[in-house]
Amino acid sequence: MYIMYNPSICTNCRRCQLACSYHHTGKFSPSDSSIEVVFNNRTGLIKWSIDTTCDFCENEEGEMPYCVKRCSTGAINWQDEGKMKPSEQYNFSFRSSLEEKEVK
C-alpha cells in the first residue's frame, strides 16, 4: 500500500499530523506524529514528510490511514500497490517523502 501526497492542494492545515499523533499516542501531539508538516514563512513553502514510524494505522478501524481520512482537501490519498498508476498530481510515498510547494 502507498500513501500519496499532492503538494499542489495541501493547505498546511496539519490535520494529517494531528490524526497521526492520535493514532500513535491517543492524544493530539504533533511531535508524536510520523508526519511532519512545516511552513516556511520566509519562502512560502510547505515541507511534508512521513518517517519510518508510519505503520499505515494498522490495528485501527477502517481501511485507510487516519491521515488520509482526515485530509480535508484530498492532498493525501491511499492506493493499493497493484492499482497504482503514475500521475503528475501525486508524489508517491512509501513511508518516506519530502515535497515542497509555493503557497499563493
Confidence at residue 104, expressed as pLDDT on a 0 to 100 scale: 36
Tell me how many domains the chain contains. 1
Range of the domain at 10: 2-102
Domain harbouring 45, CATH code: 3.30.70
Mean pLDDT for the chain overall: 79
Residue 14 has pLDDT above 70, yes or no: yes
* C-beta separation of 57 from 38 below 8 A: no
> Rounded to an integer, what distance in angstroms lies between the CA atom of residue 88 and that of residue 51?
23
DSSP state of 64: S
- pLDDT-derived band of residue 81, with 50, 70 and 90 as boundaries? low
Is the torsion defined by CA of 96, 53, 62, 70 positive or negative?
negative
> Rounded to an integer, what distance in angstroms lies between the CA atom of residue 7 and that of residue 89?
8
> Rounded to an integer, what distance in angstroms lies between the CA atom of residue 104 and that of residue 27?
32
pLDDT digits (tens, 9 = 90+) for 30-57: 999 999 998 889 988 888 888 888 888 8
